[in-house]
Amino acid sequence: MAIRKKKTIRKIPKTGLNAVPFDKGFQSTLHYFQYNVEKKQISDIIKTYIKNNYNASDKRNILANSEWRFSTYSHYGCVAYWINTKQEPHCKSYSKATIEEYFGSFKKYIDSLIEPGIQLLEEKKLKEKEKENIIVLSPQQRLQKKIGETIIQDLLELEDQWIEGKETSINVYEQFKLYGLSGSATLPVQTMVEGWLLDYEDAYYKRCEQAVEGYSHLKKSELNRRINECHSILNDLSKIKLATRAQRKVSVKKPKSADKQVAKLKYKKEDSEFKIVSINPIQIIGCVMLYTFNTKYKVLTQYVTRAGNGFEISGSTIKNFSKEDSRSIKLRKPDEFLPIVMSKSQTQIDKEWNTLTTKTTKPNGRLNAETILLRVK
């Protein structure tokens, strides 16, 4: 019968802090820490020493220092570990005085971190205080600040040029686009320009003695020019508000297929000459009335439908519109008539339409790249 050999279990070698060679003395331990203990472990060992050997105030100040102060020096980690584990330091190669010098140097180093820590904590407090003093502007305050730094400055510069005798003007519609301002920014500008207009009209029509005296150096033609310029600015502000309203996101739930219906629709998003913008074309689906304006031929069209499900769009063609009720007309003065279409009631529009001298025709339902989508009902 064969004799079974006894199975030997290999001993797993110790590593890291479990293998610190205390039995071989202080010098061997120093070398071991230098090559076998990670920086993170050295930092943890030194911080444990600090927590066990300093009062609360000094502890807080020392630990406020940067991480590298605790992880860089392996020989200090070694000293701290001897103290933390309550080992009696011994070494054949080093004298007792040399070992004491290592321990003394370590204590001196840790003590030297108190003052820098105090300074770092004070700096931290100052930064936190500065952070508390930072004024956070609300969205409305940010808007007012932007208005004051952009379009208002342009108007003040315009006023300075007028005082210098220059016959300058400003395109407020284009400036609003340049600065990324919308209809919500028009009120401060409107208030400012209406103030100018009141003064100039008081002087022009001799309604106020002070205004007449204040602008007595200006010719009547210049007063009239400035009055017209103010009206032009105010008209631009009205168009900006209407454009903002037209582009506002629609909260009304639309048919699921609406986005697909308008996906290939050709239309003009904005026209700088007439200062008008198109509504979101998805608003057309399901509506019963649509106004469009061809900027190339200056043709205004009113589409009307009697269909229960309203308008539909196929490609660039309006579907379901009534040929009997729909109409088109060429505008001789679009700048005067378009604001009426965009802001007045249907009764008022009809009344003004009937005063036009050009011929009313029937539309074909086709839209193109020159067509502005003005308004829906």
pLDDT at 254 over 70: no
The model's confidence at residue 12, banded by pLDDT at 50, 70 and 90, is very low
pLDDT at 240 over 60: yes
Q: What 3-state class would DSSP assign to 363?
A: coil
The pLDDT of residue 232 is: 94
pLDDT in tens, 135-145: 777 888 888 88
The pLDDT of residue 130 is: 79
The pLDDT of residue 291 is: 95
Mean pLDDT of 209-219: 89
Helix H or strand E encompassing 141: helix 139-149
State the Cα–Cα distance between residues 304 and 322, nearest whole angstrom: 6
The pLDDT of residue 4 is: 64
State the Cα–Cα distance between residues 155 and 293, nearest whole angstrom: 32
Contact (CB, 8 A) for 173 and 275: yes
Mean pLDDT of 314-320: 90
The pLDDT of residue 9 is: 53
Q: What is the mean pLDDT of the chain?
A: 88
Question: Can you tell me which residue has the tokens 């454009």?
Answer: 243
The pLDDT of residue 301 is: 94
Pair of tokens at residue 376: 């829906």
| Radius of gyration over every alpha carbon of the chain, rounded to an integer in angstroms | 42
Q: What 3-state class would DSSP assign to 93?
A: coil
pLDDT in tens, 153-200: 999 999 999 999 999 999 999 999 999 999 888 999 999 999 999 999
> In 93-229, where do the E strands start and end?
none
> In angstroms, how far is CA 34 from the centroid of its own chain?
51
Whole-number percent of the chain with pLDDT over 70: 94
The model's confidence at residue 126, banded by pLDDT at 50, 70 and 90, is confident
pLDDT in tens, 260-301: 888 898 999 999 999 999 999 999 998 999 999 999 999 999
Q: What are phi and psi of 116, to 5 degrees?
A: -60, -35
State the Cα–Cα distance between residues 284 and 231, nearest whole angstrom: 33
The pLDDT of residue 201 is: 92
pLDDT in tens, 322-369: 999 999 999 999 999 999 988 999 999 999 999 999 999 999 999 999
Q: What 3-state class would DSSP assign to 124?
A: helix
The model's confidence at residue 321, banded by pLDDT at 50, 70 and 90, is very high
Q: What 3-state class would DSSP assign to 330?
A: strand
Which residues make Cβ contacts (< 8 Å) with residue 34, sequence separation at least 6? 74, 75
The model's confidence at residue 2, banded by pLDDT at 50, 70 and 90, is low
The pLDDT of residue 305 is: 93
Pair of tokens at residue 107: 């204590």
The pLDDT of residue 34 is: 84
pLDDT at 250 over 70: no
Beta strands 317-319; 312-314: pairing state: antiparallel
Nearest to 319 by CA among 369, 350, 271, 363: 363
Reported residue count of the chain is 377
pLDDT at 71 over 90: no
Q: What are phi and psi of 128, to 5 degrees?
A: -65, -35
Mean pLDDT of 19-28: 84
The pLDDT of residue 156 is: 92
